[in-house]
Structure 1
Amino acid sequence: MNKTVSINLGGFFFHIDEDAYQKLNRYFDAIRQSLTPDGRDEIMGDIESRIAELLSEKLKNEKQVVSLREVEDIIAVMGQPEDYRIDDEKNAENTGAKSSSNFNYNYNYGYTKTRKFFRDTDNGMVGGVCAGLGHYFGIDPLWIRIIAILSLFLSFGTSLLIYLLLMVLIPKAITTSEKLEMTGEPINISNIEKKVKEEFSNLSDKINSVDYDKLGNNVKNGAEKVGTGISKLVLGIFKVFAKIIGAIITVFSALILGGLLITLILMLFSSTMVSPSWYPYVLSYNYTNVPMSILCLIGFFSIGIPLFVLFLLGLKILVDNLKPIGNLTRLTLLALWLISLAAAIYLILLQSSQFGVEGKMVNKQEINLKEGDVLEIKFKNNEFFSKSLRRDYSDFKIQQDSFGNGVMYSNRIHFQVLKTDEAKPYVQIEKVAEGASISDARKSAENIKYNFKIEGNTLTLDNYLIMGIVGANAKYHAQRVEIFLYLPEETLFKPDGSLKDYDDTDNEFFDLWFDGEDYIYKMGNTKVDCLNCIEMAEAMDIPEPPEPNMSDAEIEAMDRELEAQEKEIEAKSREFELKMKRKAKKDQEKILQKLDEATKE
Structure 2
Amino acid sequence: MKKTFTINISGTVFHIEEDAYEVLQKYLVKLKNHFGTEEEGQEILTDIEARIAEIFSEKSSGEKDVITMAGVEQVIETMGTPEDFAEEEGESEEEIYSKTTKRKRRLYRDTEQRVIGGVCGGLAAYFNMDPVILRIIFVVLFFITSGAGLLAYLILWIAVPKAVTTAQRLEMRGQEATVKNIEKSIKEEVKDVKESYKKFKESDTFTKGKKKVEGAGEVTYNIFRLLLKVAVVIIGVVLIISGFFGLLGLISSLAIGHSFVQDWPLVVWGPEINFPEFLNYLVEPDTVKLGIISVGFLAGIPLLAMLYVGTKLVFNYKSNNTAIGLSMVGVWLIALISLFVISTSQLGNFKNQASVVESSTINCDSCQTIYLKLNEDKYKGYAADGWDLNKLKVRQIDGEKIILGNPRLDIEKSSGNSFIVTVKKSSRGRTRETARDHASDLVYKFQNRDSVLLFDPYFFLNEKDKWRDQEVNITVKVPEGGTIFLDDEMVDIIYDIENVTNTWDGDMVGKYWKMEPKGLTMKKVENTKVEIEE
| TM-score normalised by structure 1 residue count | 0.44
| TM-score normalised by structure 2 residue count | 0.49
